[in-house]
Amino acid sequence: MLLAIDAGNTNVVFAVFDGDEKRAHWRISTDSQRTADEYAVWLVSLMGMKGLTPTDIDAAILSSVVPSQTYALMKLTEEHFGCVTMRVGDPSVELGLQNKLLNPREAGADRLVNAVSAVASYPTPLVVIDIGTGTTFDVVDAEGAFAGGVIAPGPALSLDALHRVAAQLPKVDIAKPDVAIGRGTVAAMQSGMFWGYTGMIEGILKRIIAELSPDGQTKVTVIGTGGLVRLFAEGTDMIHHIDGDLTLRGLRLIHARNAAAN
């Protein structure tokens, strides 16, 4: 079985695949001080609840945008699962995806994994919106190549910054308000965040779509993923598909391609 690990700035997600089937997945908050042993205690316990043991795992793949945790997670798989980790971003790992960035090394592992997964499941050209700590718009052109994208602050990060720099503004939850006009401070902040962020999503998408399809004749597929995508999808009809497993499927696919080539 394959252990797939997606280490993001907010959460680290673990999934176990038996062939194409996802047997289970779990997430834990990202902590730059967490050790391989701490991950093991937590993960092995949860695996046991699903009838899985470390000896069931014979391969692992990691996508990480958190350098401080990359080593700990690779050590986890080597010491507690007995397998060497395939790491997205290592030159030896082939993605099967052309990267058209001026400096291809600048592309985050998570963005590339999402693009690989999206190309395998949806028609191109396409855009993947991943709403998390940051919000990324990853663009795949009609030829199936990673063409670049947009990076913006995530909703929670934006709200937290507003709370920290404005002394009289409270910390509020992200929610979709029933109306745009807030009748109090909390309602006004929630409206500004939700409708303002939805407007940003729609505005950026319109510009990307216009660049991908200048004549307006080519359909551009938009896929949403990430922890808050379902909430913001309620405010717009520009997101065609919501795919919570996009990154994990991409990791499984990349591992399968490279294992078959070796």
- 7 annotated as a binding-site residue: yes
110 is an active site residue: yes
- 130 annotated as a binding-site residue: yes
CA distance 109 to 31: 19
Q: What is the pLDDT of residue 9?
A: 87
Q: What is the pLDDT of residue 98?
A: 93
Q: Do domains 2-92 and 122-242 have the same CATH topology?
A: yes
- pLDDT (tens, 9 = 90+) of the chain, 262 residues, equals 999 999 988 899 999 999 999 999 999 999 989 999 999 999 999 999 999 999 999 999 999 999 989 999 999 999 999 998 999 999 899 999 999 998 988 888 899 999 999 999 999 999 999 998 789 999 999 999 999 999 998 887 777 777 677 766 777 788 899 899 999 988 988 898 899 999 999 999 999 999 999 998 999 999 999 888 999 999 999 999 999 999 999 999 999 999 887 6
Whether CATH 3.30.420.40 fits 2-92:
yes
Q: What is the pLDDT of residue 104?
A: 87
- Could you say which of 20, 37, 110, 160 is catalytic? 110
CATH architecture for the domain at 122-242: 2-Layer Sandwich (3.30)
- 136 annotated as a binding-site residue: no
CA distance 64 to 6: 6
φ and ψ of 181, to 5 deg: -80, 110
Q: What is the pLDDT of residue 163?
A: 66
Q: What is the pLDDT of residue 157?
A: 75
Q: What is the pLDDT of residue 259?
A: 87
Q: 3-class DSSP state for residue 153?
A: strand
Domain ranges of the chain: 2-92, 122-242
* Cβ(198)–Cβ(232) below 8 Å: yes
- 180 annotated as a binding-site residue: no
Q: 3-class DSSP state for residue 61?
A: strand
The string of DSSP letters for 172-219 reads: ------SSSS-SSHHHHHHHHHHHHHHHHHHHHHHHHHHHH-TTS-S-
- 227 annotated as a binding-site residue: no
